[in-house]
Amino acid sequence: MTPTFLLVGIPGLENTPSWWALVLITIYLLCALGNGTVLWVIAVEPSLHRPMYFFLFLLGMSDMGLATALMPTLLKLSLFEFHTVPAFACLLQMFFIHVFSVMESSVLLAMAFDRALAICRPLQYPALLTNSMTSKIGLAIIFRCVSLHLPLPFLLAWMSYCHPQVLSHSYCLHPDISQLSCPGAQGATYSLFVVLSAMGLDPILIFLSYAFIGQALQSIASREDRRRAQHTCAAHISAVLLFYVPMILLALVDRLRLPIPHAAHTFLSYIHFLLPPLLNPVLYSVKMKEVREKILRRFQTIKVKSFP
């Protein structure tokens, strides 16, 4: 395997590395603040120790993990213009990026099932989705993420590469690396299987969940109950669109070879990876009244203790 890969920076920003680094650091700090606040409130509030908030806790963890996995190469490029990355570091970053991406997709799917059960089977919901069952779902999500991607770094490390080792992004992704391999090299088929089994299957199942939710909402006679049920789904739908729409657009651009500027393609990939960790805490804090109230109450308690 080649000892190093070359990363591509953002077109048009090569002469302003310090400015772009400041933007990246600000985004990461805001991600850490927002997700850290949500994780902290869910951890310390016993009233939030319920399935819906457990999945929200996992979503915050995946968002923070994804943002953290991206930052090493992004900051190296923006601060020091270092385009080379050792193969070992590249494969390690690739592993964590894809693990946390699939974790986010899996959590969004689990949250869709949670909402579907709560709205379609409200009487059976407490018995079906117990804390024990929720814990098992969380373990299954972690097992799925790790087991799917654990073979990839080893497969890619043993592959032969016949193309220039120039990647098309500012971070390491397995489609990018596998495209550089020689024709017939093993690993590309498994990479395709990983993509289809996670990113291809999850949005379909989420869509089916909301099809059942839509049918259940039509049978609710009370307008107030229907409005409340719709409101509980609003934050999740926003998070799903925020995560999947840029990803689908990127896939269409790559598959159809659409003639868009490389800078637009690069910014779209940044939106796909960085916007959900930045906005998800805001969406859930604004849309979910209980989370918002608990956050405000905790900060008011800290303020009173600090300034008696």
Summarised one tens digit per residue, pLDDT across range 226-270 is 777 777 788 888 889 999 988 888 877 766 666 777 777 778 888
Question: What CATH number belongs to 4-306?
Answer: 1.20.1070.10
Q: Is the dihedral of CA 126, 132, 133, 139 positive or negative?
A: positive
In the chain, count H helices and then E strands: 12, 2
Q: Is the dihedral of CA 255, 260, 266, 267 positive or negative?
A: negative
Of 178, 168, 28, nearest in space to 91 by CA? 178
What is the per-residue pLDDT for 185? 55
Residue 132 has pLDDT above 70, yes or no: yes
Tokens 């905790």 correspond to 298
Summarised one tens digit per residue, pLDDT across range 19-33 is 778 888 999 999 999
Cα–Cα distance for residue pair 73/79, rounded to 1 Å: 10
pTM, rounded to two decimals = 0.89
Summarised one tens digit per residue, pLDDT across range 182-236 is 765 555 667 667 777 777 889 999 999 999 988 888 877 677 777 777 777 888 8
